[in-house]
Chains A and B, each alone.
Chain A
Amino acid sequence: MTRSAETEFATLLETVPIRPMRRRLVRCVAALSFLEGTPPRFLRTSGRPGRCNPRDVDCLYFSETERVADREFHGRFAGVGTATEPRLTFYARVDLKGVVDLSLPAVLNALGMSIDDVLEAWRGAPSPTRLQRLGLAVSSQRRVCAIRFASDACRRAGTTGWNVAIFPDALVAPSRVWILGRSDTSLEELPR
């Protein structure tokens, strides 16, 4: 994919169908004595690439349900246990005004993408995948602040599930994200 194709994504994001999202999202992490009550910065990609973000593009990933979050966490330990290991569950309450929903064929068509692009192997890829390039374009504008995409962990387990990638750089009011601690107290609110 060329630089002009990246510019093409930037242009397509101006008109691609978007939807709002108001719901609770979930993420399971290993129980590693993280400090309670502090903003859980480790939920951010901190420079690491992810399915929807190339290296050095900040992103915050959550799953839509606890079942999907649990699959994302435990799926990677298949064959080596940890089923009994304690894990922590973080929740986020989100009110997002512009979400690109890649479950919708119309949205995929508008972006010139296919489900294969969404599920393409990204780790160690010699150049960013199409979905990562879409994420790069999202992080550089303000109309869209998140991407809803299929869970590859669920696909591998023979089920379906959905994840959401939120791009803090693209998040502006009135969109809001609250990362919640115990008793639903807000540990961090975005945008700051």
Chain B
Amino acid sequence: METAALEYPSTMVTTPTGETTIPAPLRRYRPKLARASEIKSLEQLPELTVVWTKGIDALLSHRTFLRMLAERLRATPEPSKIVFLFQTKTRKATEPTTAQKLVELFRYFTRPFDLEVAQGIRAGEDAFNEAVAKIVATRQLSEERADRPDHFSELKKVIEATDDLRAKSGKLSADNVAKVFGLSVAELAALVGRARQTASKTPDADSLQPLLKPFERVARVRAVLHQNDFRKWLHLANDELAGRTPLETIRQGKVALVADLVEDMLTGSPS
């Protein structure tokens, strides 16, 4: 099997207190350094965030930092992972209290599967490699999905139902998509992993097209729902989305999940 060169993920190193340095195994990813106070101003996290801190007790004492980090991860589309790297090893790693503390840590986050924990630099290197591999594999998977057959794209009713998402250029427009979904352009930009300025300056930019495509797939349900009913549906708790509304699910960065649901709705695929 041919091995392609890895395109390293965007990476950031942070710590809940003061300044930090870059752990040696992470240098090849050329990470940015960020103070805890800077996290709040980020629109979203990079693909890989490393939190380097003394130990889990120290980390758990920084509740505001953890809440902020969790909030940012929630607003960040997949793939995005956080590795917690502890400088010191817990004396007895098998202690039930360690597991309890990890549960306490993970409870801050709505995406616990995107979290990894490592103790010591050596274990950290393995955790970085694993996180990078998962990020690259997730990226490739979503690229492959983009190539799948689209049975709806040429249907007249679907084209009509999604026509208002497009600019005069015929391309999907961030402005129009945001309007139809009742989002601000800034929020939509954050959801698709782009700066607000990018989405505002050229709302129908080529680079935005694949990112806006899942929103178009969701909006296709308007082929059978009027705009008012569409908005209502976006805000109705949905059994198939674990009781969350489609809009909440989209805000969790899972627009593709809602787009799949819409295709199942239109094609009557059993629930």
List residues of chain A with CB under 8 Å of any chain B CB: 27-34, 41-43, 45-51, 61, 63, 69, 72-73, 75-77, 79-82, 85, 87, 121, 123-124, 126, 151-153, 156, 163
Contact = CB atoms under 8 A, between A and B. Distances in A.
A27 B268 contact: yes
Contacts of B229: 80-81
B232 interface: yes
B225 A30 contact: no
Nearest to B236: A79
A98 to B, nearest CB: 20
Contacts of B263: 48
Interface string B252-263: 001001001101
A61 B266 contact: no
Contacts of B4: none
Contact of B267 (A43, A49, A77): A43
Contacts of B260: 48-49, 123
Given A41-B151, A46-B148, A121-B242, A63 B225 contact: no
B97 interface: no
Q: Which of A33, A43, A49, A63 has the most CB of B within 10 A?
A: A33
A144 B159 CA distance: 40
Nearest to B230: A80
B271 A124 contact: no
Nearest to B223: A32
B27 to A, nearest CB: 32
A75 B233 contact: no
Contacts of B267: 27, 29-30, 42-43
A73 B156 contact: no
B256 to A, nearest CB: 10
A152 B271 CA distance: 6
A32 B155 contact: yes
B270 interface: yes
A34 B261 contact: no
B224 interface: yes
Contact of A42 (B152, B157, B242, B265): B152
Q: Which 5 A-B pairs have the closest CB atoms?
A: A42-B151, A73-B268, A80-B229, A163-B270, A28-B268
